[in-house]
Structure 1
């Protein structure tokens, strides 16, 4: 997996295709009903995931927190006759993506990603098959990055002065669709990691690394991954100041 940082790059801005702009809206979801719809669209049951991994969070003394963003399919006729909120409420959630704060546990790999205060982890991104390759995911990702990233040292999220709120993700190089979808938003990389799991055994090792950001994994393997997962962090490479590493 390639560990990449996503941000508002040259791909950011309004969609080039006006039809795409008229057909999709995206925002963070808040209600239980909408969260359930995002869970169905992304095939990710956040509630059960957190419940099953609660003992890991307790052991780490760090309760994970998650949020979801959804993309809604709307019609131009709806937008012309209804307010944005009314149009969204009557439209269909056709995809979504999740972000984690503090920590995220990849249960299938027995991997726990520990996040700094100014870091977010993007995961479980999925579009309904009939909506793929139509620009909907770009609308969704653009909205998330606009809402979650900031370079303001007085940011209300509590990031320290000089720290930029970062969104990180793991991209599987073999998943060409995912590589293409995120290519225009990849602004930095921390390198590549490799993991495999057989039953309770999980093993991890690092591949190509970045000169700017470092991935740390400890331990390198575990026999008890459900209770003691491999833990991963992303931080500035040794010898770089925070401001330098965060400016890439």
Structure 2
């Protein structure tokens, strides 16, 4: 898996996708009914990270964004919420804070205060390759990386909110979908799980950002998963020096 950082894009191709912008609208999920519909569209019903012993059970750690197909009969004079209620949710994506557990791989991703993890992105089959995911991704990245001081996302520490995700290099559709929005890479990691045994190792690395895996393997993945962090190289060196 390639661990990449995503951000808003100003690429020329984005402005040319006018038909997709007119056909779709995206925003953060605002109700239990919408959440249920996004769960159906993305085939994800988690909160996976509630398994983490480091996260309080009453702290929300995951949020969802939905993309709507605008109803054909909706008039421009209607309000935004009325437009959305008349539209169909055709896909969605999830964002994790603090930590995220990939159960199938026995992997826990630990996130800094200013980091987010994007996962479980999916469009319903009949809406793929029509620009819906680009509309969704643009909205999510703009909202999550906003510099608004009131959002509390690492602003006091002077940190810029970072959205990270894992992309399978062999999945060419996923590579193309995220290409315009990829602005950094922390390199590649490889994971293998056989029953209770999970093993991880790093592949190609970055000069500026590192993926740390601790431990390298585990026999008890359900209780003690592999733990991954994404850190600047300088932070890792400082941590090593302090431990000597």
Verify same fold: TM over 0.5: yes
1:157 aligns with 2:141: no
Q: Deviation string for 1:12-64 (max 9, x for gaps)?
A: 896423321211000000211110100000000124x35xx53xx22x35556
The structure 2 residue matched to 1:111, chosen from 65, 89, 107, is 107
SS in 2 for 1:169: strand
- CA separation of 1:2/1:74 partners in 2, compared to 1, >3 Å: closer, same or farther? same
Q: Is the 8 A contact 2:71 2:88 kept in 1?
A: no
Matching residue of 2:166: 170
- CA separation of 1:206/1:155 partners in 2, compared to 1, >3 Å: closer, same or farther? farther
**TM-score normalised by the chain length of structure 1:** 0.88
1:37 aligns with 2:34: no
In 1, the alpha carbon distance for the partners of 2:165 and 2:73 equals 36
Matching residue of 1:138: 134
Q: Structure 2: where are the runs of 5+ without partners?
A: 238-244
- CA separation of 1:14/1:194 partners in 2, compared to 1, >3 Å: closer, same or farther? closer
What is the aligned residue count?
Answer: 234
Q: Deviation string for 1:63-113 (max 9, x for gaps)?
A: 560000000001464142422210101111000000000000000000000
In 2, the alpha carbon distance for the partners of 1:129 and 1:174 equals 20
The structure 2 residue matched to 1:189, chosen from 182, 185, 196, is 185
Q: Deviation string for 1:121-166 (max 9, x for gaps)?
A: 00000001111111100000000000000346x4531413431100
1:223 aligns with 2:235: no
**TM-score normalised by the chain length of structure 2:** 0.89
- CA separation of 1:19/1:61 partners in 2, compared to 1, >3 Å: closer, same or farther? closer
Higher mean C-alpha deviation, range 64-73 or range 5-14: 5-14
In 2, the alpha carbon distance for the partners of 1:128 and 1:41 equals 6
SS in 2 for 1:41: helix
Q: Structure 1: where are the runs of 5+ without partners?
A: 242-248
CA RMSD of aligned residues (A): 2.1
